[in-house]
C-alpha cells in the first residue's frame, strides 16, 4: 500500500460510517398528506369515472331502481363493471345466483390487485389497510401503484384517491338516475367509450418500458382466447392470472 492510498481509504471509511445504509424497503407512513395528494391527483381521472357513473345511473333507472337504490349500490359496491352487469341481468324475478356468480367472476381481479399492494401495505395496521382497500377501484389502484413505486411511502394515497373516486362515482350515479328518463340510451352520446378512454390513459402511466411488454401481451392474448371460450366476464380474471404467473416465473429464473 502506498501513501497515496491512505486518504482515499480514510475518506471512504468516513462516508461508510456517516451515510445510512440503503433501505431494502421504503418506509410507508399513513397520514393526511397521503390522503390529500391521493385525492388531488385522482380528480382528473375521477371525472372519467363520473361519465361511467352517469351511464350506470341511466341503466339503473331503466330497470326500475330508484335513485336511492342506485346510489346505495354505488356507495357500498364501488365497482362499476360488476354493477352495470348486475343491472343488465336485472329481471323479474331477480336471478340472484346468476348475478352473484357473474359479479364475483368480474371482481376476483381485485384479489390480484390487492396482493400487488402487499409489499407496502403490510407496514400498515389492519384498519388502515382494509379501510383503504374498501375504496380501491381499477383507476385509483393504478395511480397508487405508480405513487408507491416512486418511493413516496404515502400509504394513505389509496384512501385519498379512493375518496375522490367514490365521491364522483356516487354523485354521478345520482345524476344519471335522475336524468335517466331524458337521456335514454347512453351509448348514443358515446358515454360507453369513456371507460375505455380512462383505462387507455392509465395504461400509458403504468408503462415501464419493454419489461412491461411480456406480461401485457400474455394478458391480452389469454383474455382474447378466454373471451371466445368462456361465458361471461371470466376472461378478465384469466388474463390477469396468466400475466401474474408469467411474472412469477420470470422473477424466479
**Domain span at residue 247?**
208-253
Cell of 55: 351511464
User: Looking at the structure, do residues 79 and 109 belong to the same domain, yes or no?
Assistant: yes
Query: For the chain, what is the mean pLDDT?
Result: 79
Quick one: pLDDT band at residue 21, thresholds 50, 70, 90? very low
- Predicted pLDDT at 17: 39
User: Looking at the structure, do residues 68 and 177 belong to the same domain, yes or no?
Assistant: yes
Domain assignment of residue 239, yes or no: yes
User: Looking at the structure, do residues 132 and 222 belong to the same domain, yes or no?
Assistant: no
- Predicted pLDDT at 103: 77
Q: Please give the residue that has the higher pLDDT: either 104 or 155.
A: 155
Domain assignment of residue 178, yes or no: yes
Q: Using the predicted structure, report yes or no on whether residue 153 has a pLDDT greater than 70.
A: yes
Residue 29: beta bridge partners? 154
User: Looking at the structure, do residues 80 and 97 belong to the same domain, yes or no?
Assistant: yes
Average pLDDT value for residue range 8-23: 41
User: Looking at the structure, do residues 157 and 241 belong to the same domain, yes or no?
Assistant: no
Burial of 4 (0-12, 13-18, 19+ CB in 10 A): exposed
Domain assignment of residue 101, yes or no: yes
- Predicted pLDDT at 189: 61
Q: Using the predicted structure, report yes or no on whether residue 48 has a pLDDT greater than 70.
A: yes
User: Looking at the structure, do residues 55 and 122 belong to the same domain, yes or no?
Assistant: yes
Domain assignment of residue 13, yes or no: no
User: Looking at the structure, do residues 246 and 127 belong to the same domain, yes or no?
Assistant: no
Q: How many domains does the chain have?
A: 2
**C-alpha 55 chain-centroid distance:** 20
Q: Using the predicted structure, report yes or no on whether residue 2 has a pLDDT greater than 60.
A: no
Q: Please give the residue that has the higher pLDDT: either 163 or 108.
A: 163
Query: Percent of the chain having pLDDT more than 70?
Result: 73
User: Looking at the structure, do residues 167 and 215 belong to the same domain, yes or no?
Assistant: no
User: Looking at the structure, do residues 124 and 218 belong to the same domain, yes or no?
Assistant: no
Amino acid at each position: 500500500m502506498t501513501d497515496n492510498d491512505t486518504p482515499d481509504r480514510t475518506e471512504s471509511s468516513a462516508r461508510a460510517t456517516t451515510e445510512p445504509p440503503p433501505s431494502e424497503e421504503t418506509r410507508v407512513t399513513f397520514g393526511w398528506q397521503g390522503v390529500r395528494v391521493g385525492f388531488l391527483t385522482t380528480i382528473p381521472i375521477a371525472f372519467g369515472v363520473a361519465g361511467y357513473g352517469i351511464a350506470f345511473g341511466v341503466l339503473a333507472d331503466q330497470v326500475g331502481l330508484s335513485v336511492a337504490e342506485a346510489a346505495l349500490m354505488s356507495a357500498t359496491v364501488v365497482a362499476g363493471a360488476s354493477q352495470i352487469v348486475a343491472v343488465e341481468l336485472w329481471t323479474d324475478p331477480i336471478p340472484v345466483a346468476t348475478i352473484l356468480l357473474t359479479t364475483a367472476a368480474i371482481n376476483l381481479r381485485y384479489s390480484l390487485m390487492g396482493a400487488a399492494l402487499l409489499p407496502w401495505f403490510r407496514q400498515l395496521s389492519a384498519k388502515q389497510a382494509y379501510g383503504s382497500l374498501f375504496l380501491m377501484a381499477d383507476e385509483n389502484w393504478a395511480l397508487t401503484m405508480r405513487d408507491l413505486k416512486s418511493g413516496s411511502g404515502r400509504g394513505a394515497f389509496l384512501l385519498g384517491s379512493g375518496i375522490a373516486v367514490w365521491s364522483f362515482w356516487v354523485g354521478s350515479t345520482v345524476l344519471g338516475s335522475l336524468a335517466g328518463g331524458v337521456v335514454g340510451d347512453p351509448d348514443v352520446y358515446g358515454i360507453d367509450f369513456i371507460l375505455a378512454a380512462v383505462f387507455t390513459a392509465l395504461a400509458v402511466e403504468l408503462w415501464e418500458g419493454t419489461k412491461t411488454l411480456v406480461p401485457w401481451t400474455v394478458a391480452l392474448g389469454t383474455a382474447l382466447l378466454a373471451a371466445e371460450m368462456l361465458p361471461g366476464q371470466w376472461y378478465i380474471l384469466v388474463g390477469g392470472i396468466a400475466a401474474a404467473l408469467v411474472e412469477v416465473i420470470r422473477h424466479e429464473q
